Structure 1
Amino acid sequence: MSFGTETVVCIWFVGNLYIVDSIEDVRQGDIAVIIGKSGEAEITACEIAEQTGKISNEILSRLGGRLEKYFIHPTTL
């Protein structure tokens, strides 16, 4: 959804719709890190579980085969 120059980012995750944030200059095709590290920001499955009242295993198991997953070895970052 776009409002002026900002885009509101929403994700459907673990059976719920979440408004993630208002982000400037986001475009279709930009990379979205759901779990992991992007620059200095990092979020873990445990943090998401705590924020949603779930357990980390439920967060990870619900990702299933619907998402493309890329595992990057830390030495390549």
Structure 2
Amino acid sequence: MEIMQVTGSLVCTQRVSGLAHCNLRVLRNTKGKLSVGVDPVGASIGNWVFTTSGSAARLACPDPSVQTDLTIGGIIDFWEPDG
């Protein structure tokens, strides 16, 4: 798991069928690297979230057949980033 911040939404009109009803978010890790993840929890821009990656990421989705390797697992209510 990794802590990341939601920096935006990603809108794609053409997707593979496994991603048809998934919200996508642009995420930034604490070192500034950007990634795209599936958002089953409804995170907003600016929220700090924890993510799961790899093959476990699809299991964090309501439908485990979703084709993802990065999923938001939850919204962090309180956390003070280092540095």
Q: TM-score, normalised by structure 1?
A: 0.30
The structure carrying a bigger strand percent of its residues is 2
Specify which structure has the bigger relative contact order, considering alpha-carbon pairs within 8 angstroms and separated by 6 or more residues. 2
Q: Which has the larger radius of gyration?
A: 1
Q: TM-score, normalised by structure 2?
A: 0.28
The structure carrying a bigger helix percent of its residues is 1
